[in-house]
Amino acid sequence: MITETRPLISVTGLTTQFGSQVVHQDLKMEIPEGSIFGVVGGSGSGKTVLMRTLLGLNHPAHGQVSIDGLNPFLPEDQKKLQTRVGVMFQGGALFSSLTIGENLIYPLMEIAHLPQDLAKMIAALRLKMVGLEVDTLQKYPSQLSGGMVKRAALARALALDPKILFLDEPTSGLDPNRSQTFDELIKTLRKNLGLTVMMITHDQESLNFLCDHVGAIVDKKIVSGPLERVMAHPHPWIQDFFWGERGKRVFASQKGGR
Amino acid sequence: MGAVNFISDESGEVILQLSGKWSLLSAKDLQEEIRTLPLPRQKTIRVRWNHITGADVTGSWVLHSLLQHLSHRGNHLVLPLDQGPMYQLLQLVDTYASKEKSPQTSPHYSLTDMLFHLGKRFVTYKENISKATNFLGFVIHNLIQTFRRAQPFSWTSLAYHLEQVGLRAMPIVGLLGVLIGVVLVYQSVDQLRRFGAEVFTVDLLGISVTREIGVLITSILVAGRSGSAFAAQIGLMRLNQEIDALDVMGLRPVATLVIPRVLALIISLPLLTLFANFVALGGGAAMCGIILDMPFSAFMHQLNLSLDIKHLWVGLIKAPFFALAIGLIGCFEGFQVQRGAEDLGRHTTKAVVESIFLVICLDALFSVFFSKIGM
């Protein structure tokens, strides 16, 4: 199903540190085009820091990052990346003083310079794609439930027709049923829109259901590759994550290969 | 030659020839082009999208609405037979396309809504006053309990807040005091000189600073500095559910959070006022020395003649009341925070505005009171 193609995102020799605290050391990874790449790791292992670095929000001490052939730390490349990258932050990061509709229209009008009526139609379309009703457009983020905020945030991340979607714990804080529907939504969107997705997750179910490639951040480095290959890695944390009591239940189906 | 063209082939058939990039960034130009496109008179239109070099959802939406428009107009559209990416994107857009022409993205307000909100505001105002009065009573009850040692009291917390609201306010209160003294002298000398009464500048300075300006300036500054801080601290604790955590542990939030803050304010505001009075008089004395060539001894002599100790008391007596008002409103607004950062900001602003307002109202009442009792 997945054909190996050129890496869309590649990171080499990445070292990130805050003061004397080293978060990543000489980290190297590649995310193939068209894959759903799940990032796992213990609390504080630097999953979100890695995502922020890829987005150019956090400057690494050393190392190169290339996203779709562009460098997120160069101002001229950043401009090109604006419309190629969509991000859904952990808490949604919807602008609280704007309605959901205005949240969606804002990037369309500011970056793509769409006329307002067209932007409104596109916003309504995006909202329906993530399974929300059109009347949600008029509501403020504080009026929505946790699951709806996640969906609206996903709609905003998709607003600019990105090639690459970054998701920071998309299903955290959702009940299992909603997590499952959300995972299915991401899968459908990926298939329909041909996205490459990088998602940070703690949820083994999501990982098993969605991701074909996995990166496990352990000891300041990342072990990445197709899911079954990472699962076989001998590192104790990885063994524990995939083959611990919880992991075993979830990943049992993986044993026979996919 | 644009991205959208109607051409007719040899057999007279009309072809909608689409080309170029149909993406987010070209959507604006495409829509513009479509708007000015002359539409053909023939009924049947054959659509050709094999020259489209790239498309995304936004671009497909534009194409979708063009096709919709044509078929609503009565045209018969013949789509290409290929089921490639363009076809799939159009299908996708068609699945989720909204039937509404222009969806509302902002809440709509009608006249009745406005009236409703006006009424609601009024009712909320009334409710808030009763809530605030309730809070005042509750805090005073707790204060009395604390004094009667009926509930535990944290001296550490009091000391911390004394430092925050008292000691740390001294530099800015001092600076402002000096400037006020300087300005008062500078302004009044100009006016009094016309009557040859420059020497009464000292009387004016002494009485106005000790009775009114010292305490008012200090209170307004403290309201801006500490009232807002109280509201923000307590508000954030509410958002973090820290208040609920205190409540569940049986530590009463009012006793643990409000009492030390309010007490610290009640203690430090009179002291800050006294300090402000001194520096303002000092600034005034320096200014008198500069523009009136009045030696310090002469300034002190004149001050002695005009300034009675009761004027100082009039100013200082007001300070604890102002402190209570500032502290109560700051904490009260903090407790009112319910949803999110925006609410926090709104209540912090409200705390400052309301406490300054209340301080000035109280000051007016005190003026009437003092003049009635002849002080």
As given in the structure block, the two tokens for residue B131 are: 């809530």
List the single residue in B62, B96, B105 with the smallest CB-CB distance to A105: B105
Distance from the A140 Cα atom to the nearest Cα atom in chain B, whole angstroms: 9
> Angle at the Cα of A140 (from A118 to A165), degrees rounded to 5?
60
Which residues lie below 8 Å from residue A82, measured CB to CB, with a gap of 6+?
Answer: A111, A160
Per DSSP, the residues of A112-127 read S---HHHHHHHHHHHH
3-state secondary structure of B207: helix
B chain contacts of residue A123, beta-carbon cutoff 8 Å = 103, 105
- For chain B, the maximum distance between any two Cα atoms, rounded to a whole number of angstroms, is 114
**pLDDT grade, residue B277 (50/70/90)?**
very high
Burial of A66 (0-12, 13-18, 19+ CB in 10 A): middle
State yes or no: ipTM above 0.90: no
Count of alpha carbons within 13 Å of B136, Cβ hemisphere only? Answer: 11
| Whole-number pLDDT of residue A159 | 87
Are the Cβ atoms of A125 and B28 closer than 8 angstroms?
no
Strand pairing report for A21-32 and A7-18? antiparallel
CA distance B61 to chain A (A): 7
Categorize the per-residue pLDDT at B364 as very low, low, confident or very high, splitting at 50, 70 and 90: very high
Residue partners of B373: CB distance under 8 A and separation at least 6: none
Q: What is the per-residue pLDDT across A121-136, written as a single tens digit (0 to 9) for each?
A: 889 988 888 888 888 8
- Which one-letter DSSP state was computed for residue A144? S
Put simply, the answer to whether B98 touches A128 (Cβ < 8 Å) is yes
Residue B94, both tokens: 């068609």
Closest of B201, B228, B219, B220 to residue B316, by C-alpha: B219
In angstroms, the CA B182 to CA B217 distance is: 14
**In the predicted structure, residue B147 carries a pLDDT above the cut 50:** yes
pLDDT at B102 over 80: no
Write the pLDDT tens digit of every residue in A173-214.
Answer: 778 887 888 888 888 888 878 889 999 988 888 888 889 899
Ordered DSSP codes for B295-332: -HHHHHHHHHHH--HHHHHHHHHHHHHHHHHHHHHHHH
Nearest residue on chain A to B100, alpha-carbon basis: A121
CB B230 within 8 A of CB B347: no
Q: How many residue pairs bridge chain A and chain B with CB atoms within 8 Å of each other? A: 91
Do residues A216 and A232 lie in contact, with contact meaning Cβ atoms separated by under 8 Å?
Answer: no
Residue B203 has pLDDT above 60, yes or no: yes
- The whole-number average pLDDT for the span B22-30 is 87
Closest chain A C-alpha to B345 CA, distance in angstroms? 12
Residue B211 to residues B197, B217, B316, Cα–Cα distance (Å): 22, 11, 8
B104 to A123: CB separation less than 8 angstroms, yes or no: no
Element holding A30 (H helix, E strand)? strand A21-32
Q: Which two tokens stand for residue B72?
A: 């609503």
pLDDT in tens, B54-89: 888 888 888 888 888 888 888 888 888 877 778 888
Range scoring the smallest mean pLDDT among B32-46, B122-136, B178-192, B270-284: B32-46
Per-residue pLDDT tens, chain A, 258 aa: give them: 445 567 889 999 989 888 888 888 888 998 988 889 999 988 888 888 999 998 888 888 888 899 888 888 888 888 888 888 899 988 888 888 889 999 999 988 888 888 888 888 889 988 888 888 888 899 888 888 888 898 899 889 988 888 899 999 888 877 888 788 888 888 888 887 888 999 998 888 888 888 989 999 988 889 888 888 888 888 998 888 888 888 888 887 665 444
Contact A112 B25 (CB under 8 A): yes
φ and ψ of A113, to 5 deg: 55, 35
Strands of the sheet containing A21-32, edge to edge, are A21-32, A7-18, A62-67
Q: How far away is chain B from the Cα of A98, in angstroms, using its nearest Cα?
A: 9
Percentage of chain B surpassing pLDDT 70? 98
What is the reported pLDDT for B169?
95
Largest interatomic CA distance in chain A:
56
Distance (Å) from the alpha carbon of A180 to chain B's nearest alpha carbon: 21
Amino acid sitting at position A30: E
CA distance B326 to B261: 10
Per-range mean pLDDT, top range of B88-102, B119-133, B170-184 = B170-184
**Running DSSP on this structure, what letter comes out for residue A14?**
E
Count of Cβ atoms closer than 10 Å to residue A98 Cβ: 16
| CA nearest neighbour of B56 among A110, A158, A197 | A158
Q: Which residues of B touch A83 (CB under 8 A)?
A: 24-25
The residues that bridge with B6 in the sheet, in sequence order, are B16
Q: What is the pLDDT of residues B240-268, one digit of tens each?
A: 889 889 888 878 888 889 999 999 999 99
All domains of chain B in start order, with CATH: 3-101 (3.30.750.24), 142-372 (no CATH)
pLDDT at residue B118 is higher than 70: yes
Q: Provide mean pLDDT across the span B177-193.
A: 93
pLDDT in the model for residue B275 = 97
Kindly state the tokens that stand for A231.
């699962």
Rounded Cα gap, residues A248 and B94, in angstroms: 42
Beta strand pairing call for A36-41 and A62-67: unpaired
Q: Do B98 and A97 touch (CB under 8 A)?
A: no
Predicted pLDDT at A256:
45
Are B222 and B262 spatial neighbours (Cβ–Cβ below 8 Å)? no
What confidence score (pLDDT) does residue B100 get?
64
CA-to-CA distance for A86 and A88, rounded, in angstroms?
Answer: 7
The DSSP output letter for A162 is -
Residue-level pLDDT at A4: 53
3-class SS string, B37-102: CCCCCCCEEEEEEEEEEEECHHHHHHHHHHHHHHHHCCCEEECCCCCCHHHHHHHHHHHHCCCCCC
Please state, rounded to an integer, the average pLDDT across all residues of chain B.
90
- pLDDT, position B348: 96
What are the phi and psi torsion angles at B85 (to 5°)?
A: -55, -40
CB contact under 8 A, A121 and B65: yes
pLDDT of residue A254: 65
